[in-house]
Amino acid sequence: MARRPDLSGQTALVTGATGGLGKAIARGLHGAGATVNLSGRRAEVLDSLVAELGDRAGSLPADLSKPGEAVALAERAGAVDVLVANAGLGGSGALGDYTLEQADRVLEVNLRSAVHLTHALLPGMLERGRGHLVYISSISGKTPTVGASLYSATKFGLRGFALALHEDLRDTGVGVTAVFPGFIAGEGLWGDTGLKLPAGAGRLRSPDDVAAAVLKGIATGRPEIDVAPLVQRSGGWLTGFAPRLVAASMRRAGGARLSASLADAQREKR
């Protein structure tokens, strides 16, 4: 059984809480005893989740694609013990298919907002001598994905940011964990497309699996946790010393077609 932290008396902030992953993470943190502040663009969805959770839940609507919004959110959230930077936009498709404005939105939400929230909230954690920073990256943050240079840039960036912070914050009482989901059933950027998983890609993981990984990271202090089938995890392991081999394998497996389909399905959300 996965380890579960006792977060009684602690406050968590979850971004991207209007999506399936964010909702599952919020429920998991709330079940572990935390007071959970939920953030996302759709206030009505946040209000519905707050009503479901009841006590120890609050709504902080924010559009993290807007410059300065992450810092404003941190100010509204106040003292935060657990940050889960989960907000994300799809970045599939050739870079040239994006306008610079669309590209900046992906960078702002997927990477810059996490950095700005951390910058704003970390001093308080250090002063209190406790806290945990969780970043929801992606297996695409470990493995180069054909047709998704923009998305991979943000998710690789989150990984590097989290790993370096983990080293910076040793012995401070503040932990850092990056979580790397693969394809998630019914929810997330993959689930929203309605596409079917390629043959041989393994069993889809669920939003609850991602939430369990977040709780495990907080409980154990592990710097990285994968939530993906073996075939996807192995790509991440191999990329470090054989990136061309992994990229070639993905091309042969139809990675370009899959990325093109994802880009078409996510186009209206850019």
Residue with tokens 């497309």: 193
Other CB atoms within a 10 A radius of the CB of residue 75 amount to: 10
| Per annotation, catalytic residue among 98, 135, 151, 156 | 151
Residue with tokens 């960078």: 107
**Could you give the C-alpha distances from 228 to 41, 74, 168, 172, in angstroms and in order?**
27, 31, 28, 30
Question: For 198, which DSSP code?
Answer: P
**Could you give the C-alpha distances from 70 to 59, 60, 164, in angstroms and in order?**
15, 11, 21
Question: For 267, which DSSP code?
Answer: G
Quick one: tokens of 89? 């936009």
- The C-alpha atoms of residue 155 and residue 180 are separated, in whole angstroms, by 9
SS3 category, 82: strand
> For 118-238, where are the E strands, in sequence order?
131-136, 174-181, 224-227
Q: Who's near 199: CB < 8 A, 6+ residues apart?
A: none
- Please confirm, yes or no, whether 151 is among the known catalytic residues: yes
- The C-alpha atoms of residue 70 and residue 64 are separated, in whole angstroms, by 6
Other CB atoms within a 10 A radius of the CB of residue 170 amount to: 9
CB 60 within 8 Å of CB 72? no
CB 93 within 8 Å of CB 49? no
Mind telling me the catalytic residues? 151
